[in-house]
Amino acid sequence: MENEKLSLPNYNIPEDIQNVVAITTLDRLYNWGRRSSVWPLMFGLACCAIEMIAAQTARYDMARFGMEVMRPTPRQADMMLVSGTVTKKMLPSIVRLYNQMPEPKYVVAMGACASSGGPFKEGYNVVAGIDKFLPVDVYIPGCPPTPQALIAGLIKLQEKIDKQSIKTVRWYDKNKADSNYVPMPILGPDLIDVRRNEEYKKAAATKESAS
């Protein structure tokens, strides 16, 4: 497993100090620190947010996994938990929040709505999944996912963090500095994703002839 390779330094400790010294990799240490203090953005969109709050409270207690420090400002957050229906009207704000988060940052799509539009997919104001705009790390199914499911999803995220290596992660790579920047969508006659302008133009020009 990749994870094990990252954690085992492959270095022989002389026998006489084996009980005194432990050796691990920098990756392991670095990941351990990050995975145990993932600070989520305090950010609720809809019904799923209520289950997110419930997961913070006494019975489920997300603090056991180092995730209880909800940060209302994106500048201090590591993880965006998209908890609820993403509407077109809200999307520019979500993208802005995401862009304001410092690297390393993760996105967890909680619930059917954030993953795909869910029960409201057909709605005219609904974005069919946040992954159309942001890179999602973990999807949690459910409507709403129970707090247990949410915690299971977050443990998955921790497993993902465990597999990352300091040598290859994008946020230390000078050339990839802005690789995660998402251009702001615009609210026009409908939602305009500026990355797809050309496509829209083409489709709009042929729209009449097609239908």
- Rule CB under 6 A: say whether 46 interacts with ligand SF4: yes
Q: Which residue has the tokens 């500095």?
A: 177
Q: Using CB distances below 5 to 8 A depending on partner kind, what does residue 54 bind out of ligand SF4, other proteins, none? A: other proteins
d(CA 144, CA 84): 9
d(CA 136, CA 156): 13
Phi/psi at 53 (5° precision):
-65, -40
Q: Smallest distance from the beta carbon of 46 to ligand SF4, in angstroms?
A: 4
- Rule CB under 6 A: say whether 112 interacts with ligand SF4: yes
- Rule CB under 6 A: say whether 140 interacts with ligand SF4: no
Site string for other proteins, 160-199 (x = CB under 8 A): --------------------------xxxxxxx-x--x-x
User: Among the candidate windows 4-12, 29-37, 39-47, 164-172, which touches other proteins by CB under 8 A?
Assistant: 39-47
* Residue 86 and residue 107 in contact, taking contact as beta carbons nearer than 8 Å: no
Cis peptide before 144 (omega within 30 of 0): yes
Tokens of 205: 């020009």
Give the number of C-alpha atoms closer than 13 A to the C-alpha of residue 78, restricted to the C-beta side. Answer: 17
- Rule CB under 6 A: say whether 117 interacts with ligand SF4: no
Longest Cα–Cα distance in the chain: 82
- Rule CB under 6 A: say whether 185 interacts with ligand SF4: no
Binding site for other proteins (CB under 8 A): 42-47, 49-51, 53-54, 57-59, 72, 84-85, 87, 89-90, 93, 97, 117, 119-128, 132, 143-144, 146, 186-192, 194, 197, 199-201, 203-208, 210-211
